[in-house]
Amino acid sequence: MATKPSIPKGTRDFGPVEMLRRKYIFGTIERVFQKYGYLPLETPAMENLDTLTGKYGEEGDRLIFKILKRGAELERAVQDGSKSLAAEALRYDLTVPFARYVVQNQNELAFPFKRYQIQPVWRADRPQKGRYREFYQCDADVIGSTSLLNEVELVCLMQEVFDALALKVKVHVNNRKILLGLVELFNVSDRATEFITIMDKRDKVGVEGVAEELRKNNFSSKVVDDLTAFYGRIIPMEDERGPQNHRMLSTMFEEAGVAVGLQGLKELGDVFYALANGATKAVDNRVFHDLTLARGLDYYTGAIFEVKAAEGTLHSSICGGGRYDDLTGVFGLKGMSGVGISFGADRIYDVLLETNKFPTELGSSTKLLFANFGEKEAMHCLKLLRQVREAGIASELYPDQVKLPKQFTYAEKKGIPYVAIVGETEMNAGLVTLKKMGANEKGDAMTMDELIQRLK
Amino acid sequence: MATKPSIPKGTRDFGPVEMLRRKYIFGTIERVFQKYGYLPLETPAMENLDTLTGKYGEEGDRLIFKILKRGAELERAVQDGSKSLAAEALRYDLTVPFARYVVQNQNELAFPFKRYQIQPVWRADRPQKGRYREFYQCDADVIGSTSLLNEVELVCLMQEVFDALALKVKVHVNNRKILLGLVELFNVSDRATEFITIMDKRDKVGVEGVAEELRKNNFSSKVVDDLTAFYGRIIPMEDERGPQNHRMLSTMFEEAGVAVGLQGLKELGDVFYALANGATKAVDNRVFHDLTLARGLDYYTGAIFEVKAAEGTLHSSICGGGRYDDLTGVFGLKGMSGVGISFGADRIYDVLLETNKFPTELGSSTKLLFANFGEKEAMHCLKLLRQVREAGIASELYPDQVKLPKQFTYAEKKGIPYVAIVGETEMNAGLVTLKKMGANEKGDAMTMDELIQRLK
């Protein structure tokens, strides 16, 4: 093979610099997950095909990567008319494998079961900017409890993750029951999903855009007028008078006798009450009631969460989630309510990069390079190297005896901040000359103890 | 779907207990990798099929999991007679993707390039005890340097990993050039691979077994007698006179004028010299010259490594590696010598479990559970929970208001060591009653400061 090799479209290699940054993101999230009592789970990349099909809609089914059968099985399948060339497939998300795991292990698990899972998923989507065929998901879910304390905890957890990443964000919270209440209020129950989907776009297209789309889809002018009037009464969520929306909605639902809407408001109110009463210290990462938030509406039945960066120019969703009433029913285990969130690692990466929030010392994991001056010096350096590593400092010895500039280029390319010079002079004097990369100086001769003190 | 769901054969779910143990193994190895200047790399699960085929032999090619084409492409392939139903495949190891990455990025990388990679690989092997279709590999390689200092460093790295895991091991080291020297010495150069493969079995079948297999494969009785006599002169590698083998072999190679054998001995001697002169402190994890070690012989060209546990009953290989002279040639980049090692996480897991070496606190990441006594108490506990977490202690609040024994069962199943009781009495007194799980006592009432001090 003489042509330069490549990788499948929509996939990526992550080299050292990207990997160290990604590890910082995943490590931070994982630490907070564990601090909140979520425990790790990993499921296989491959699931049985029938575990996955029918769970993501028709479009989803088409995007599942399937594993080709092998050997005699494949031959038989081809002869049978190619109807069943695959019996296994790559996981499409972490939620269905999680549900499958819970059902399979229901007798051993301690409920409520709190798990986190950080693994790649695969989707045969058309690749485009920011959309990949392999990407990590980063989920935490609690299943087997209907308590709203779970929602409170998840909001705190999201705040704490972004606090730890030093990123200012806005946490949007809504409740699907409020959306269903609006549907009832505006008399569009027969077209609920459609109505909510259009309403969800206000963020992007504005009130006039929503009205236009409603008209285009043959909603009556009364519905359009009612919704427009309603929007006119809403106070923007970031306004300090924002909480008045709650009272306004409450009055509307009460007057029209919309029980589901009132229930949604109560649930949301309970969550905000707990947050306001000391569950969180939320200073930078404020929580808002976003009346129109509807993400994943076919799926969620209660709380809905979404987090957006409040810094930089990238304002797409970097974390989201919600409550679902029946995750495991499709696998035969009824009555399991759960609530969960999912962090979008790729988007968080982009936001941290743009806002310059990655810690600088992530650039390299090696702190010190011993230059190689020849066989005798290298043998001597191996002992010094051992001392430095015993002090917990990541370090290495340049393995080949080449000209010094080449060794310095290596340190520079790899982002190693310090080079130790141990020539014959230093060796005989029991010293090391320490040079800081980028500093225009000869470097200081020092003992190993001093060097270790300096680098620690 | 009413039947209980399952996962594909040869794959595994890793629940919380296993995951925490696996994370301990991977985390330990990764820390040492970074301390030695190896940087992380991740490649996609899918590679182009032609990147993988032809790299693992005929048997290997059959065991590659291929990705079924989709849509119009698939229809075309089926009509074309099913010859090319797949264009992508799951990676079979980490070495070929590493080589592909190096070639693809040769102009940007700093050579010698030291990378580590911890990712799953997939092989359609027949599943059996200890052999899976999905398993993690855990590799460190340095490419672009022929210096033996790399070998020295890798031996130290292996020792340090098992030191950190508190597991006593034996590090077996050999050099393929010594094996080639023996081949020349015994005049079997025309059947070198076959001869070395049989010789490699001495560990399992003994000298008599090796002799028998040689006879069965029509090696001459002179060869059999010579090798048997040679074995008779070898001192067991763990004997303190073991190093005499080196001199004996050296004399034999010199007398017969076997240059390659002498070169192998010199390389091995240099590595042992550096190790003995302070590169390592190797007390428990001793390094031996294992004259017959040959693993992966088609692949390695210089040093060969293998690590086996020196405790417990499981003595299969838990880490191995060696030097290869031309890893990237197949992708068009010639003259790149490399040396690397690979840790067998599944086997290390089994050994640590059998020898009881997993730290006990890995059992749970949650340290404290606040029991739930009702709405008012729970609201109060949310504030206490925040204090405990701010002190860095992993903790949670039982979300539902159920009978206390059920909450204790939850703590027990999850391995949570402490339960905080905050009923009305405690709440009014500003105290918490801390109960240690398993201890047959009422528990002590204390302030939050005391509780945090106790658990830290």
pLDDT at B179: 94
State whether residue B57 sits within 8 Å of chain A by CB: no
CATH of A364-455, one of 3.40.50.800, 3.40.630.10, 3.30.70.1880, 3.30.1490.20: 3.40.50.800
Q: Please state, in angstroms and rounded to a whole number, the distance separating the CA atoms of residues A323 and A301.
A: 6
CB-based contact, A437 to chain B, within 8 Å? no
Q: Do A110 and B409 touch (CB under 8 A)?
A: yes
CA dist., res. B76 & res. B1, Å (int): 33
| Residue B317 CB neighbour total at 10 angstroms | 16
- CB-nearest partner of A14 from B35, B41, B382: B41
Distances (CA, A) of B313 to A290, B21, B309, B353: 61, 20, 9, 11
Candidate from B67, B147, B279 with C-beta closest to A65: B67
Of B51, B385, B397, the CB nearest to A5: B51
Across the interface, whether the CB atoms of A399 and B142 are under 8 A apart is answered yes
Interface check B396 vs A, CB under 8 A: yes
Cα A50 from chain centre:
27
Look at B386 and A41 and tell me if their CB atoms are within 8 Å.
no
Report CB contact under 8 Å: B364, A67: no
Q: Which band of pLDDT confidence, cut at 50, 70 and 90, is reported for residue A109?
A: very high
Taking CA B111 as the corner, what is the angle to CA B106 and CA B117, rounded to the nearest 5 degrees? 80
Q: Is the pLDDT of residue B259 over 90?
A: yes
**Can you tell me which residue has the tokens 């079948």?**
B205
List A341's β-bridge partners, or say none: A140, A321
Residue B126 touches chain A, beta carbons under 8 Å:
no
* pLDDT beyond 80 at A257: yes
A391 shares contact with chain B (CB less than 8 Å): no
Rounded distance between C-alpha atoms, residue B456 and residue B394, angstroms: 10
What's the burial of B14, exposed, middle or buried (CB within 10 Å: 0-12/13-18/19+)? middle
Chain mean pLDDT for chain B: 92
- The answer to whether residue A143 scores a pLDDT higher than 80 is yes
Interface of B with A in 64-103 (CB under 8 A): 65-68, 70-71, 78, 82, 85-88, 90, 100-101, 103
> Please, what is the average pLDDT of chain A?
92
Please indicate whether, in this complex, the C-beta atoms of B7 and A62 are within 8 angstroms of each other.
no
Collapse the DSSP code of A440 into the 3-class scheme (helix H, G, I; strand E, B; otherwise coil) and give the result: coil
Pairing mode of beta strands B338-343, B134-143: antiparallel
> What is the arithmetic mean of pLDDT over A319-343?
92
Token readout for A301 is: 């039945």
How many distinct helices (H) and strands (E) make up chain A? Answer: 17, 16
Confirm or reject contact between A394 and chain B (CB < 8 A). yes
Q: What is the dihedral of CA A224, A225, A228, A229, to 10 degrees?
A: -150
pLDDT at A254 over 60: yes
Could A39 and B124 be called an inter-chain contact, meaning their C-beta atoms sit closer than 8 Å?
A: no
Beta carbons of A364 and B39 less than 8 Å apart: yes
Residue A195 has pLDDT above 50, yes or no: yes
- Chain B partners within 8 Å of A413 (Cβ): 109-110
ipTM, 2 decimals?
0.93
Query: Which chain B residues are closer than 8 Å to A274 by Cβ?
Result: 379, 382
Q: Per residue in B397-410, pLDDT tens?
A: 999 999 999 999 99
Domains A16-40+92-354 and A364-455 share a fold: no
Q: Do A37 and B395 touch (CB under 8 A)?
A: yes
Nearest CA in chain B to A67: B67
**Cross-chain residue pair A379–B124, CB shorter than 8 Å:** no
A288-292, A398-402, B56-60: which is most confident: A398-402
Amino acid identity for residue A240 in this structure: E
Of the listed ranges A249-263, A342-356, B68-82, B149-163, the one predicted with least confidence: B68-82
**A119 near B CB under 8 A:** no
Cβ atoms of residues A60 and A92 within 8 Å: yes
**pLDDT at residue A212 greater than cutoff 60:** yes
Residues 189-228 of A with CB under 8 A from B: none
CATH fourth-level superfamily of A16-40+92-354: Bira Bifunctional Protein; Domain 2 (3.30.930.10)
- Higher-confidence residue of B346 and B285: namely B346
* Closest among B180, B177, B233 to B207, alpha carbons compared: B233
Strand ordering across the sheet containing A286-289: A39-40, A113-122, A134-143, A338-343, A317-324, A303-309, A169-175, A286-289
Across the interface, do B11 and A44 touch by the CB < 8 Å criterion?
yes
- Cβ contacts (< 8 Å) between B400 and chain A: which residues? 112, 145-147
Question: Under a CB-based contact definition with an 8 Å cutoff, are residues B185 and B222 in contact?
Answer: no
Q: Would you state the pLDDT for residue B417? A: 93
- Kindly report the three-state secondary structure assignment for every residue of chain B: CCCCCCCCCCCCCECHHHHHHHHHHHHHHHHHHHHCCCEECECCCEEEHHHHCCCCHHHHHHCCCEEECCHHHHHHHHHCCCCCCEEEEECCCCHHHHHHHHHHCCCCCCCCEEEEEEEEEECCCCCECCECCEEEEEEEEEECCCCCHHHHHHHHHHHHHHHHCCCCEEEEEEEHHHHHHHHHHCCCHHHHHHHHHHHCCHHHHHHHHHHHHHHHCCCCHHHHHHHHHHHHHCCCCCCCCCCHHHHHHHHHHHHHCCHHHHHHHHHHHHHHHHHHHHHCCCCCCEEEECCCCCCCCCCCCCEEEEEEECCCCCCCEEEEEEEECCCCHHHCCCCCCEEEEEECHHHHHHHHHHCCCCCHHHHCCCCEEECCCCHHHHHHHHHHHHHHHHCCCCEEECCCCCCHHHHHHHHHHHCCCEEEECCHHHHHHCCEEEEECCCCCCCEEECHHHHHHHHC
Q: Which residue has the higher pLDDT, A203 or A398?
A: A398
CA gap B5, A155 in Å, rounded: 32
pLDDT of residue A1: 46
Residues of chain B neighbouring A52 (CB-CB closer than 8 A):
none
pLDDT tens digit string along A335-364?
899 999 999 999 999 999 999 999 987 756
Q: Compute CA B173 distance to the chain's CA centroid, rounded to the nearest angstrom.
A: 17
* Closest-approach residue (CA) in chain A for B76: A82
Of the candidates A115, A110, A165, the residue with the CA atom closest to the CA atom of residue A138 = A115
Contact A6/B at CB under 8 A: yes
Determine what percent of chain B is predicted with pLDDT higher than 90. Answer: 76
Q: How confident is the model at residue A304 (pLDDT cuts 50, 70, 90)?
A: very high
**The pLDDT of residue B424 is above 60:** yes
Closest CA relative to residue B345, chosen from B63, B134, B97, B61:
B134
* B138-191 confidence digits (pLDDT tens): 999 999 999 999 999 999 999 999 999 999 999 999 999 999 999 999 999 999
Query: Is residue A379 scored above 70 in pLDDT?
Result: yes
In this model, does residue B319 exceed pLDDT 60? yes
Delimit the domains of chain B by residue range. 16-40+92-354, 46-90, 364-455
Average pLDDT over residues A155-179: 95
Q: Mean pLDDT across the stretch A420-448?
A: 93
Dump pLDDT digits (tens) for A29-84: 999 999 999 999 999 999 999 999 998 888 899 999 999 999 889 988 888 776 78
Q: What is the pLDDT of residue A456?
A: 87
Residues 6+ apart with CB under 8 A from A165: A25, A28, A348, A352, A357
Report pTM: 0.94
Cβ distance B147 to A41 less than 8 Å, yes or no, reads: no
Split at pLDDT 50, 70, 90, the class of A285 is: confident
The length of chain B in residues reads 456
Cβ separation A8–B385 shorter than 8 A: no
